[in-house]
A and B are shown apart, each in its own frame.
Chain A
Amino acid sequence: MAVTTPGTGLIAGAGWRAHPWVVYAACVAALVLVPVGVNMLSFLRVDGDMLGHLTHFVLPELLVNTFWLLLGVGLGVSVLGVSLAWLMAICEFPGRRWFEWALLLPLALPAYVTAFVAIDLLDFSCPVQSWLRQAWGVTGLFEIRSRGGVVLVMSLALYPYVYLIAKSAFATQGAMALEAAQSLGLTRTRGFFRVALPMARPWIAAGLMLVMMETLADFGTMAVFGYDTFTTAIYKAWYSLFSLPAAAQLASVLLLFVLVAVVIEQRSRAHMRYGAVGRHAVSRRIPLSQGLAWLACAYAAVVLVVAFVIPVTQLAFWSWQVMDQDLDARYWGFAWHSVALAVMATVLVGVTALLLAYAGRRHRDGAVPWLQRIATLGYAFPGAILAVGFFIPVAYLDNWLIDMARAWFGFQGTEILKGTLAVMLLAYLVRFLAVGFGPIDSGLQRITRNTDDAARSLGSSTWHLLSRVHWPMLSVSLQTAAVLTFVDVMKEMPITLMTRPFGWDTLAVRVFEMTSEGEWERAALPSLAMVVVGILPVLLLTWRTSATRH
């Protein structure tokens, strides 16, 4: 991968000579185009019968399902994420400081685990309904394995993406925006909807986009619910109908859809410009009256309990049952692998995303915005499709290298590139660049051109501008990106399964081992371990943020 040196300033200018920032963005996009290209190659083998069958019998219902799912989860995470972010960032009430970080905790729980716990507690055979039936003779109350159930669970599992990103937006501009609105005679409520909310739109959109991509690509949660979406059809074509080409073709359609959605969203706010507000905006919180404070407290508590406390309690209960049998010294190894991979991937994703966002800042027009959009498509891939799409070219390259090594050095092995951490990390980069890029890019939009110009007019070099002006303003966005990426990498399964070197089993791999034969209760132990490890960066972030505030 060719990486250009950042901060070399403007070399380009005249003619066709490529600017280093553009070259850099092109390289990152190229990396993502590798699996996209493999998908495209599948169009050389179009199986009309197969596609005909899928279009006729499978897709119509799935498209409807997918539409309602996206709409429902989109609404769900927006309402939960934005309202909680507003309360935590702008208002003051007892317990706020504690809730502010606790509400991030559901991030550490993979959605399919929450889903399994929800079904286990609420389905017909499970404690709640059994009790209602036996004690009260109530039947047919609700069916958790339904559209509403999926939407509820996905919203509870994914709202932290919107919450985290929107909170940092509100924290730095919300209170002042509201005051400005009030000074113009708007009520607090109208001020929120007319001023604060529109101002936070890029951040909310960034979080929402991540949620949508994750929802679209989700396979595990949907399988647990038996809710078939477009991605279900992709896996069906591959695993059940033995047609990876058909699966890849469907995946290409999915990516195209996402790309169009991203472009529409960006275009729709292209005319807006977002300005910065001072860093001390946060100091003036709105104290809530006693009644409202109670309400806010209760609301946050309910979300936290339903999305985190109950699932984790159930996991702890199951873990307790299998601990003697399953917990051994190897768990240190699994946890260590999970953390090591997540840290390395987070650094790689963070740096790459930061530079990519800068490339866009330097070149607002032309190719760079498109390169950015392509570079962040990896998150919309169904995981296993991305994993093979990345692995196949690596294996071909490896075959070529091995042949040469054999001819020149008498090499006898079977692996040079594949089976190395480098391949694994690059695959993670392709998958999770969007997770890092979203928060960083929207954070960067807040630093106006005026700021740059002012700094430059005072004689700041690019480097100086970066380190003295941008870095302090961006640090919250960077931390947000880091936490999201860290936790996402740790939960990741298909890429880890496909590209891990021998012996590099992680906690997520343990979850796979248990769930692949339906032993969900035994999967509780590695899931819980994942939660414990995933909480660490959340705590670190909170600690850092509050340290910088005081």
Chain B
Amino acid sequence: MKLNQLIAMLALAACAATALAEEVVVYSARNEQLIKPLFDAYTRDTGVQIKFITGSEGPLMERLKAEGQNTPADLLLTVDAGNLWQASQEGLLRPIQSKILQDNVPAHLRDPNNEWFGLSVRARTLVYNTGKVKPSDLSTYEHLADPKWKGRLCLRSSKKVYNQSLVAMMITEYGEAKAEAIVKGWVNNLATLPFPDDTKAIEAVANGQCDVTVVNTYYFGRLIEKSPMLAAAIFWPNQKLSSKDAGVHVNVSGAGVTRHAKNPAGAQKLMEWLSSDKAQNLYADKNLEYPVNPRIRPDSIVAGWGDFKQSLINVKEAGSKQVQAVKLMDRAGYK
């Protein structure tokens, strides 16, 4: 590279840096069509500009790590708690004190050390074929390991983090041995190869290739919006168990302020705004997810599926036990 080009670039970068001191820079694993409308609304509300770049979690976190003190990023946004936990383990996030966030985000959906906060809830639940299964036949995730479901279960690939989180939570709840037995039971009951995405699994259930599957609700929402006559419905599992940990497995999409943020106050304000009444519906409804703020009603389609009891295990366990969960699934032969 030529020296004069370098100097010109330095000058340019310096100008850019001083002119936009107020802007917030976001690295986001949540995709553009879901976050841009929110960022635009924030800019309209506050005048603060937001610059963002999207990508997969792994590369985005490596990028933060390599950039170290000179990262332009103020905020890291992901679509699961496991990766936020990992970012915090790697020292990429910083704790923040925010009364607003603590009020708006239930304790089990944020980091106990305040390094990251959930911003929307993704519930992983059962979907069954309405022609072949009575809701009374269903009860829990564990129950799907029962031989009576042999050849009737469809699952998404174990390579998706949502399933890894689910198994991590089961390890937390029941211990590794029981969780492994459950996963082995699932594998024995599979009707066909695991699917690459939740949508395909729901379609397989609706078309009778299998009877029941485990998916995130918003995939079901998207499908039912397109084809209302779908022969499939949602069932909320683990509702009748007495333990306080019992309930529907939930995960979050959430965010944390980066350790070397240049504008940490701005990033915190953005997060607080995202958890506020004003933004929560926009954030969650765009993808038919649940607002993290329990005072906010979800979208009418989503509300139509009824209320359910969430598991109250802190979602950080999805991260802390992810490696254990993946190894368990490998041993159980869950592809």
B33: chain A residues at CB < 8 Å are 326, 513-514
Decide if B17 touches A498 in the complex (CB within 8 Å). no
**Docked complex Cα distance between A500 and B198 (Å):** 30
> Scoring A residues 419 to 449 as 1 if CB is less than 8 Å from chain B, else 0, what string do you get?
1101000000000000000000000000000
Pick out which of these stretches binds chain A: B57-65, B96-104, B295-303.
Answer: B57-65
**Docked complex Cα distance between A419 and B222 (Å):** 36
Pick out which of these stretches binds chain B: A80-88, A203-211, A358-366, A410-418.
Answer: A410-418
A57: chain B residues at CB < 8 Å are 327, 330-331
B10: chain A residues at CB < 8 Å are 405, 409, 411, 413, 416
A226-B335 CB under 8 A given contacts A145-B193, A242-B86, A498-B59: yes
A123: chain B residues at CB < 8 Å are 200
B54: chain A residues at CB < 8 Å are 497, 509, 512-513
B198: chain A residues at CB < 8 Å are 518
B40 at the interface (CB under 8 A from A): no
B326 at the interface (CB under 8 A from A): yes
Decide if B17 touches A414 in the complex (CB within 8 Å). yes
Decide if B62 touches A413 in the complex (CB within 8 Å). no
A242, A244, A398, A498: which has the most chain B beta carbons within 10 Å? A242
B193: chain A residues at CB < 8 Å are 143, 145, 226
Decide if B16 touches A413 in the complex (CB within 8 Å). yes
A241-B326 CB under 8 A given contacts A124-B207, A498-B63: yes
In the complex, the chain A residue whose C-beta lies closest to that of B198 is A518
Decide if A239 touches B72 in the complex (CB within 8 Å). no
B164 at the interface (CB under 8 A from A): yes
B62, B164, B194, B207: which has the most chain A beta carbons within 10 Å? B62
Decide if B62 touches A244 in the complex (CB within 8 Å). yes
Decide if B331 touches A518 in the complex (CB within 8 Å). no
**Which single member of A387, A399, A405, A409 contacts B68 (CB below 8 Å)?**
A399
Among residues 448 to 506 in chain A, which have CB atoms less than 8 Å away from a CB atom of chain B? 494, 497-498, 500, 502-503, 505
Interface size class of B (residues with CB under 8 A): 35 or more
A517 at the interface (CB under 8 A from B): yes
A264 at the interface (CB under 8 A from B): no
Decide if A226 touches B157 in the complex (CB within 8 Å). yes
Decide if B62 touches A391 in the complex (CB within 8 Å). yes
A238 at the interface (CB under 8 A from B): yes
A125 at the interface (CB under 8 A from B): yes
**Docked complex Cα distance between A319 and B70 (Å):** 41
A92 at the interface (CB under 8 A from B): no
**Docked complex Cα distance between A223 and B323 (Å):** 20
B229 at the interface (CB under 8 A from A): no
B71 at the interface (CB under 8 A from A): yes
B225 at the interface (CB under 8 A from A): no
Decide if B63 touches A398 in the complex (CB within 8 Å). no
A414-B200 CB under 8 A given contacts A228-B335, A498-B59: no
**Which single member of A58, A399, A517 contacts B287 (CB below 8 Å)?**
A517
**Docked complex Cα distance between A509 and B86 (Å):** 25
Decide if B197 touches A518 in the complex (CB within 8 Å). yes
A415: chain B residues at CB < 8 Å are 13, 70, 72
5 shortest interchain CB distances as A-B pairs? A395-B66, A413-B13, A413-B17, A518-B197, A125-B203
Which positions in A face B, CB cutoff 8 Å?
53, 57-58, 119, 123-125, 130, 143, 145, 223-226, 228, 232, 235-236, 238-242, 244, 326, 384, 387-388, 391-392, 395-396, 398-399, 402, 405, 409-416, 418-420, 422, 494, 497-498, 500, 502-503, 505, 509, 512-514, 516-520
